[in-house]
Amino acid sequence: MNCADYERLIALDVEGDLPQPQGRAAAEHLLSCPSCQKFEDSLKTSQALLKELGQEPLGEETLTEVRRRVRIGLAGAMQPEGLPVWRLALGVGVVAALIFTVVTLHHSSPGVKTRIVAERSTPASVAPPAHATINETPNSKIASRSAKSAPAARDLSNTAGRASKPGPISQAPPRVRSLKRPQGVPPSRFPSGALRANAEIQHPQPLTIKLLTDNPNVVIYWLID
Amino acid sequence: MESHDLALTMTGPAPEESTADSAQALERAMGGDRAAFDELLRCYERRVLMTAWRILGSKEDAQDAAQEVFLRLYRQLQRVDPKRPLMPWLYRMTVNVCHDLHRKRRWNPDLRVEEANCPSTEGDPTGEITRAEQKQMIAAALQTLTEKERSAVVLRDIEGLSTSEVAGILGSRETTVRSQISSARVKIKKFVERLERGRS
């Protein structure tokens, strides 16, 4: 170890921060090194000054100013954390922005063809998904595109009867179809959709609203519980 | 990073109010008593402000930092454990707030040291350095340190905490803190020597 190494040890030892074995080594070096002795004396002076910095008066006006600012901050509608007011406001804001976007897209730009499709995603074993077209433009191109981008919204006879076959994509716009009883279920146990309605009441599925535009890259989903 | 229990016995200067009193005030403040929060403010403001002043190097910045520390305390009152001393929590918050302020203002410590804090010899024909000027040099030297070195040395040497308490507050190992303190003390000493040589 050279003097530079010992300086770092002395810098700790001068305030008693050095563990004992290293402290002894530093003390032994100090006895035989005038340069490090000078370093230690100088360090003691700067340490004394450093400690005096903590005793300097802050001034009552400085403290008063801090108190005044804190009180103003507390009076300014400060709420302890945990109250969900801001979360509620944020949620309302997001929903309002979404509705505004949908309405603006739908009404203000005649060039943009949009279609809103509402559906409930239900497991196939319980019942086929109900499907209703709310608003539709008479544009076969959009219809075929919507069929590509939303396979669940296709004619359900494809998925129910021959789900394994890819089958041609229907060019006609999707139509509203009546509920079908699954094969193998006796009519008496499936009274015209009552079973499905009952299942939905017990296990409500989220309603999905898709806004399809004529831009294939833009599909807006809105999930409602 | 080693986690440390912040409920340490403080060996530094005694707070203006006893621990029992401040614990009671803290509990009442947690219950929404604004007067009790005011008691806490008066009890701890000096140490928070002093720590911030020495870390930031300016009283005005320290006032901003202290204000933010107490507002954060109010917002996070429910997270503070009233059974533990509040001061370590406040020290940690003060260091964090000072670091945030430091980054936000894109501080240039070199500029402050050279132009603002160093004592001038103009008007003093003897060139003798007074005690007050020496302290000014030390305060300027603090601003040449890295953020971590400055925080460690302020808590250890100015606030008088032990190395283990400083490690707990900064969330560092004791060996790391010792290394930072050692480096800081050597730098401060050398900086002051350079300034004194420049004057003479």
CB-CB: which of A12, A42, A78 is closest to B181?
A12
Instruction: Find tokens 């400055």 and name the residue.
Output: B150
From the CB of residue B186, how many other CB atoms can be counted at a distance below 10 Å?
A: 18
**pLDDT (0 to 100) of residue A18:** 87
Contact yes or no for B67 and A70 at CB 8 A? yes
Yes or no, beta carbons of B157 and A47 under 8 Å apart: yes
Task: Tell me if B55 is assigned to some domain.
Answer: yes
How many CB pairs (< 8 A) connect A and B?
117
Instruction: Indicate the average pLDDT of chain A.
Output: 68
CATH code at position B113: 1.20.140.160
CB atoms within 10 A of CB B113: 20
- Check CB contact of A4 with chain B, cutoff 8 Å: no
**A16-51 core/surface letters (b: 16 or more CB in 10 A; e: else):** ebbeeeebeebeebbeeeeebeebbeebeebbebbe
Local confidence band at B63 (pLDDT 50, 70, 90 cut-offs): very high
Please state the rounded mean pLDDT for residues A139-161: 42
- Structural domain containing residue B175: 19-199
DSSP lists the bridge partners of residue A87 as none
Which of A215, A160, A70 has the alpha carbon at shortest distance from B29? A70
pLDDT value for B115? 41
Task: Name which residue leads in pLDDT, A223 or B180.
Answer: B180
Separation CA B196–CA A42 (nearest Å) = 12
Going B164 to B169 to B174 to B180, the CA torsion angle's sign is negative
Q: Give the C-alpha separation, B172 to B125, whole Å.
A: 47
Question: Rounded to a whole number, what is the distance in angstroms from the first to the last CA of chain B?
Answer: 45
- CA-CA-CA-CA dihedral for A90, A92, A97, A99, to nearest 10: 160
Distance from CA of A91 to the nearest CA of B (A): 22
Q: Cα(A155)–Cα(A157) distance, rounded to whole angstroms?
A: 6
Asked if A78 and B178 come within 8 Å (Cβ–Cβ), the reply is no
* Interacting residues of B167 by C-beta distance below 8 A, sequence separation 6+: B2, B4, B173, B174, B176, B177
Query: Cβ contacts (< 8 Å) between B157 and chain A: which residues?
Result: 15, 47, 50-51, 54
> What are the CB-based long-range contacts (under 8 Å, 24+) for B24-27?
B26/B77, B26/B80, B26/B82, B26/B86, B27/B82
C-beta neighbour count of A205 within 10 angstroms: 16
H and E: helices and strands count for chain B: 9, 0
Residue keyed to tokens 């670091």: B99
* pLDDT, tens only, A158-188: 444 444 444 444 444 444 444 455 555 455 4
A67 vs B45, B134, B138: nearest CB: B45
Q: Is A43 in CB contact (< 8 Å) with chain B?
A: yes
In residues, how long is chain B? 200
Q: What pLDDT, on a 0 to 100 scale, did the predictor assign at position B107?
A: 54
What residues of chain A lie within 8 A of the CB of B53, using their CB? 58
A46 and B185: CB-CB below 8 Å? yes
Strand order in the sheet with A219-224: A131-135, A115-120, A207-212, A219-224
For A17, which of B41, B178, B183 is closest by C-beta distance? B178
ipTM score of complex: 0.78
Specify if B6 maps to a domain: no
**Chain A: residue whose CA lies nearest to B69:** A70
A130-143 pLDDT, tens digit each? 444 444 444 444 44
Q: Are A129 and A120 spatial neighbours (Cβ–Cβ below 8 Å)?
A: yes
Residues 128-187 of A with CB under 8 A from B: none
Chain A residues with CB under 8 Å of B137 CB are: 49
Q: Worst-scoring range by mean pLDDT, A50-54, B21-25, B150-154?
A: B21-25
Task: Give the best residue of A45, A66, A83 to mutate against chain B (max B CB count within 10 A).
Answer: A66
The 3-state DSSP class for residue A208 equals strand
In angstroms, the CA A11 to CA A54 distance is 19
Q: What is the pLDDT of residue B82?
A: 85
The answer to whether B14 and B159 have CB atoms below 8 angstroms apart is no
Residue B5 counted as domain residue: no
How many independent structural domains does chain B possess?
1
Q: Are B158 and B181 in contact (CB under 8 A)?
A: no
Model confidence at B158, pLDDT cuts 50, 70, 90, reads very high
Residues of B in contact with A46 (CB under 8 A): 138, 185, 188-189, 192
Please, where are the H alpha helices in B105-130?
Answer: 109-111
The shortest CB-CB distance from A11 to any of B67, B135, B186 is to B186
Q: Mean pLDDT over residues B171-181, rounded?
A: 95
Across the range A139-152, mean pLDDT stands at: 43
pLDDT at A97 over 80: yes
CB contact under 8 A, A78 and B181: no
* B119 CB-near residues (< 8 Å, 6+ apart): B129, B132, B133, B136, B137
Give the C-alpha separation, B131 to B119, whole Å. Answer: 11
Cβ neighbours of B77 in A, within 8 Å: 80
Q: How confident is the model at residue B130 (pLDDT cuts 50, 70, 90)?
A: confident
Spacing of C-alpha A172 from chain mean position: 39
Instruction: Record the pTM.
Output: 0.60
Q: Which of A70, A74, A79, A86 to mutate to test the interface with B (most CBs of B within 10 A)?
A: A70
Rounded CA separation A197/B124 (Å): 96
